[in-house]
C-alpha cells in the first residue's frame, strides 16, 4: 500500500521565491497534518485538516504561509515569499480519524533550503 | 495546555545494552500516549501506544507503561541493536482536538557495535 507521498523531496530556492509543497495522504484517511522540523525548534504543527476543512492553523508562522486541501487526496503548503529562516524539513501526515486517535502516518518529508 | 518533556540526547550505547528514555507529560483529561521513531532521512513512524492508565505498549522489543500517578511513559528496551539508532519522540493526544498530537523534543539514540 502506498504511504503518504510528498513532493518535492528536496527544494533549494532563493529568498523571495514562492515555494509549494505537495502531499497525497493515504486513501481513506480523513485527517491531514503539516509539520515543520528544525534543529532549533523540533517538530512544530503548522496546520491540520479534518475532512478537508482546516481545523487549527494556529501554528502557521505568519501570513507568508498558507495551506489548502481542495479534496481528500491532495494538499499543498505554500510559502510566499520565502525567507532563509523557513529552511526546514516539512512533513505531511495523515490519520484514519477518531477510531485511531493519535496514530499518524508520516511522509518522508520535503527538505527546503532557502538561500 | 498540554506538554511533553523527554530527556535530551544524544544517548550513546553499546550493542546489547539496556535503553531507557524518560518521558513525562502534562495534560488535561485522560490522554493517549505514544512513542514515535524517526530513522535517518525518514519520516516518523508509530512505535507503540497506550490509551489508558497502566496499559503497556510494546513493539519490536520496546516497551512503555502508562503511569498516571507519575504522569510518565518511559521507553525501554532490554538489548539494543545498531539498527535502533534513531530519534525517538514521546507524544500525547488528549482527544479534545481530534488527532492532534503534542510531541516532546525528541531523543537521539546512537548504538555502537
> In this predicted structure, what is the pLDDT of residue A98?
65
> In this predicted structure, what is the pLDDT of residue A84?
96
Cross-chain Cβ contact B49/A102 below 8 Å: yes
Give the distance from residue A22's alpha carbon to the nearest chain B alpha carbon, in angstroms: 15
Q: Which residue among B45, B99, B105 places its CB closest to the CB of A102?
A: B99
DSSP one-letter code for B78: S
- Tell me the three state secondary structure of residue B69: coil
pLDDT in tens, chain B (113 residues): 889 999 888 999 999 999 999 999 999 878 999 999 999 989 999 999 999 999 999 999 999 999 999 999 999 999 999 999 999 999 998 766 566 888 999 999 999 99
Give the distance from residue A44's alpha carbon to the nearest chain B alpha carbon, in angstroms: 8
Q: Which residue among A33, A43, A55 places its CB closest to the CB of B89?
A: A43
Confidence of residue A109 (pLDDT cuts 50, 70, 90): very high
From residue A100, give the alpha-carbon distance in Å to each of A24, A103, B63, B99. Answer: 19, 6, 20, 8
Give the three cell numbers for residue A5: 507521498
> In this predicted structure, what is the pLDDT of residue B104?
93
Instruction: Give the largest Cα separation in chain B, rounded.
Output: 44
Q: Which residue among B43, B93, B98 places its CB closest to the CB of A55?
A: B98
Which chain B residues are closer than 8 Å to A102 by Cβ?
Answer: 32, 34, 49, 91-93, 99, 101
* CA dist., res. A52 & res. A97, Å (int): 12
State chain A's mean pLDDT as an integer: 93
> Mean pLDDT, to the nearest integer, of A87-109?
88
Q: What are phi and psi of B45, to 5 degrees?
A: -130, 140
pLDDT for residue A4 is more than 70: yes
Q: What is the DSSP string of A16-85?
A: T--EEEEEEPPTT--EEEEEEEETTTEEEEEEEEETTEEEE-TT--STTEEEEEEETTEEEEEESS--GG
> In this predicted structure, what is the pLDDT of residue B100?
80
Question: How long, in residues, is chain B?
Answer: 113
B66, B89, B98: best to mutate for the A interface, most A CBs within 10 A: B98
> In this predicted structure, what is the pLDDT of residue B89?
96
Cross-chain Cβ contact A102/B98 below 8 Å: no
Confidence of residue A105 (pLDDT cuts 50, 70, 90): very high
Which chain A residues are closer than 8 Å to B36 by Cβ?
Answer: 104
> In this predicted structure, what is the pLDDT of residue B18?
97
> In this predicted structure, what is the pLDDT of residue B53?
92
Q: Which residues of B touch A (CB under 8 A)?
A: 32, 34, 36, 41-46, 49, 51, 89, 91-93, 95, 97-101, 103, 105-106
> Mean pLDDT, to the nearest integer, of A62-66?
92
Cross-chain Cβ contact B91/A102 below 8 Å: yes
Amino acid at each position: 500500500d502506498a504511504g503518504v507521498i510528498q513532493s518535492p523531496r528536496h527544494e533549494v530556492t532563493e529568498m523571495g521565491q514562492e515555494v509549494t509543497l505537495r502531499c497525497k495522504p493515504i486513501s481513506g484517511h480523513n485527517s491531514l497534518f503539516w509539520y515543520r522540523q528544525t534543529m532549533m525548534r523540533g517538530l512544530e504543527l503548522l496546520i491540520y485538516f479534518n475532512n478537508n476543512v482546516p481545523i487549527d492553523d494556529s501554528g502557521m508562522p505568519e501570513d507568508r504561509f498558507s495551506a489548502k486541501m481542495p479534496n481528500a487526496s491532495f494538499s499543498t503548503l505554500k510559502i510566499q515569499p520565502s525567507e532563509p529562516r523557513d529552511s526546514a524539513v516539512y512533513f505531511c501526515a495523515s490519520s484514519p480519524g477518531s477510531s485511531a486517535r493519535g496514530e499518524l502516518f508520516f511522509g518522508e518529508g520535503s527538505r527546503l533550503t532557502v538561500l | 495546555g498540554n506538554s511533553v518533556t523527554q530527556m535530551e540526547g544524544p544517548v550513546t550505547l553499546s550493542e546489547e545494552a539496556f535503553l531507557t528514555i524518560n518521558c513525562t507529560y502534562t495534560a488535561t483529561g485522560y490522554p493517549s500516549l505514544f512513542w514515535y521513531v524517526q530513522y535517518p532521512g525518514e519520516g516518523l513512524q508509530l512505535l507503540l501506544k497506550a490509551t489508558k492508565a497502566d496499559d503497556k505498549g510494546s513493539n519490536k522489543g520496546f516497551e512503555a507503561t502508562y503511569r498516571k500517578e507519575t504522569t510518565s511513559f518511559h521507553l525501554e528496551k532490554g538489548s539494543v541493536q545498531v539498527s535502533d539508532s534513531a530519534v525517538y519522540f514521546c507524544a500525547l493526544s488528549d482527544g479534545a482536538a481530534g488527532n492532534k498530537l503534542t510531541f516532546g523534543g525528541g531523543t537521539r539514540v546512537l548504538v555502537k557495535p
